[in-house]
């Protein structure tokens, strides 16, 4: 069993409150009346490319002058059970400032693995030059993968890329993205139980640290409803239990952790929703995926966690090489969920350096109002990663061309 359990006592309080204190000192409370942050107007895919390099760590950079104009970020509800303001769920779609919204954009990978190497936090640039090319693509949402150990500053992560340094860098990056008028999705991407360093994705969020992670992250960003919380990247408890739905909802003991010998407890989505809503007091939209690397939504409605705010959406990942990769499966398993709650395809891609698969998904998803984000806005291989771009000036790969052509039509 792990020798290091969940943080407790003073360490527990410090872990989840540190980010809020950092942001208050650095930028003012996110979403407060004094903030400069505006709101927008409007990978089973194991993540290859974990050996990617490059990029410069941005630590505590302030929101640039001249950020995009917009309305207030929108705070959360003042009491549990009250309808949230800003981006929120109404029926099976998102609404912001009275308008229906779809989250259409890209993932920017790197923040889940660069900090583990101890040199950087980001892969590629993280400034306005990084964002400008996205205008031509009509990208309104960016998904940012996070590392549990780097955020919490535990298990030997270097201090210059972990803990306070990591939190400040992510906070400044979110400010930059939101200042450009885009929504941001934060997801728990890499984690590990006990004292094991978080160097990969796992079958589930670990009970040792995931609650501390989400209480801290949700506390930091709860003032800005344009930030969405994706509770876990790609759950796959089905590889370790005969009851994947029950494990996903309520947690279970698993033995198939990467880099960790022996069984460890996984925490379920019900508890993480409770932590975000109750302990952090955040009313932001929450995303919850299905199992089989977030590609199985057949029983999602049966195992949907209870959210007192009803501000919950389903997360689905679609690649041409995953189990649910054709219209027949989408109609049978995803469409019924999309009739009840918003569905966000947090990762969409194909590993053939082409666009035929994503084009077929666009044609199916658009009439249903389903959101989607391409994996990924990184200069990597267009088949192995797969990458949307061949340079950070926005030059598309053959795969990325599908998104560049299609997103402006939405």
Distances, alpha carbon 111 to alpha carbons 63, 293, 312, in Å: 19, 20, 25
pLDDT at 73: 59
Residue 118: phi and psi, rounded to 5, are 85, 5
Q: How far, rounded to the nearest angstrom, does the alpha carbon of residue 330 sit from its chain's CA centroid?
A: 22
If you write DSSP's letter for every residue of 244-281 in order, what string do you get?
HHHHHHH-EEES--TT--S-EEEPPHHHHHHIIIIIS-
Q: Which long-range contacts (CB under 8 A, 24 or more apart) does 52-55 make?
A: 52/109, 52/110, 52/113, 52/114, 52/123, 52/378, 52/380, 53/117, 53/123, 54/120, 54/123, 54/124, 54/379, 55/110, 55/114, 55/120, 55/121, 55/122, 55/123, 55/124, 55/125, 55/126
Q: SS3 of 90, please?
A: strand
Nearest to 193 by CA among 113, 115, 251: 251
Helices first, then strands: H and E counts in the chain: 13, 13
Q: Is 408 helix (H, G, I), strand (E, B) or coil?
A: helix
Contact 180, 131 (CB under 8 A): yes
CATH architecture of 10-30+55-66+86-350+361-409: Alpha-Beta Barrel (3.20)
Is residue 222 a contact partner of residue 284, using CB atoms and an 8 Å limit? yes
The C-alpha torsion from 240 through 8 and 18 to 283, rounded to 10°, is 60
CA-nearest of 83, 176, 182 to 129 is 176
The whole-chain average pLDDT of the chain stands at 85
Sign of CA dihedral 168, 116, 103, 249: negative
Query: In angstroms, what CA-CA distances link 207 with 271, 284, 292, 360?
Result: 10, 22, 20, 38
Q: Report d(CA 184, CA 168) in Å as an integer.
A: 16
What is the phi-psi region of residue 198: left when phi exceeds 0, alpha when psi lies from -120 to 50, beta otherwise? beta
Please name the residues in contact with 115: beta carbons below 8 A apart, sequence gap of 6 or more: 121, 147, 150, 157, 158, 161, 162, 166
pLDDT number for residue 82: 58
Residues of the chain scoring pLDDT < 70? 1-84
Residue 207 CA from chain centroid, whole number: 19
Cβ atoms < 10 Å from Cβ of 339: 12
Cβ 191 vs Cβ 198: under 8 Å? yes
Q: Please enumerate in sequence order all residues whose Cβ is within 8 A of that of 356, keeping only pairs 6 or more positions apart, or say none.
A: 350
Neighbours of 168 (CB within 10 A): 21
The pLDDT value recorded for residue 74 is 59
Domain boundaries, the chain: 10-30+55-66+86-350+361-409
Contact 116, 197 (CB under 8 A): yes
Q: CA angle, corner 267, sides to 266 and 272, nearest 5?
A: 155
- Residue the block writes with tokens 């109404």: 90
């Amino acid at each position: 069993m792990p020798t290091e359990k969940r943080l407790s006592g003073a360490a527990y309080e410090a872990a989840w409150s540190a980010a809020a204190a950092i942001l208050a000192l650095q930028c003012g409370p996110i979403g407060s009346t004094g903030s400069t942050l505006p709101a927008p107007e409007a990978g089973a895919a194991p993540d290859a490319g974990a050996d990617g390099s490059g990029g410069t760590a941005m630590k505590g950079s302030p929101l640039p002058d001249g950020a995009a104009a917009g309305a207030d970020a929108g705070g959360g509800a003042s009491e549990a059970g009250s309808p949230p303001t800003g981006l929120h769920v109404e029926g099976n779609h998102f609404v912001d400032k009275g308008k229906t919204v779809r989250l259409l954009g890209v993932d920017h990978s790197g923040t889940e693995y660069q900090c583990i190497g101890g040199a950087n936090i980001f892969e590629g640039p993280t400034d306005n030059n990084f964002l400008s090319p996205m205008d031509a693509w009509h990208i309104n949402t960016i998904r940012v993968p996070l590392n549990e150990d780097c955020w919490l500053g535990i298990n030997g992560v270097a201090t210059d890329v972990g803990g306070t340094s990591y939190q400040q860098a992510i906070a400044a990056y979110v400010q930059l993205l939101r200042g450009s008028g885009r929504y941001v999705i934060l997801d728990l991407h890499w984690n590990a139980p006990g004292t094991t360093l978080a160097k990969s994705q796992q079958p589930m969020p670990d009970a040792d640290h995931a609650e501390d992670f989400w209480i801290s992250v949700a506390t930091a960003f709860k003032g800005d409803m344009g930030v969405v919380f994706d509770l876990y990247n790609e759950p796959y408890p089905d590889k370790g239990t005969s009851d994947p739905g029950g494990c996903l909802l309520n947690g279970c003991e698993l033995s198939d952790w990467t880099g960790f010998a022996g069984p460890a407890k996984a925490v379920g989505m019900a508890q993480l929703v409770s932590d975000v809503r109750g302990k952090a007091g955040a009313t932001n939209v929450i995303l919850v995926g299905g199992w089989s690397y977030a590609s199985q939504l057949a029983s999602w409605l049966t195992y949907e966690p209870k959210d007192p705010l009803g501000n919950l959406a389903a997360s689905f990942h679609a690649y041409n090489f995953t189990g649910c990769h054709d219209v027949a499966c989408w109609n049978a398993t995803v469409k019924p969920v999309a009739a009840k709650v918003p569905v966000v395809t947090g990762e969409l891609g194909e590993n053939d350096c082409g666009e035929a698969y994503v084009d077929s998904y666009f044609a199916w998803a658009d009439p249903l109002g389903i959101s989607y984000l391409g994996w990924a806005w990184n200069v990597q291989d267009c088949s192995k990663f797969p990458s949307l771009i061949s340079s950070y000036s926005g030059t598309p790969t053959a795969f990325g061309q599908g998104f560049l052509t299609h997103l402006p039509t939405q």
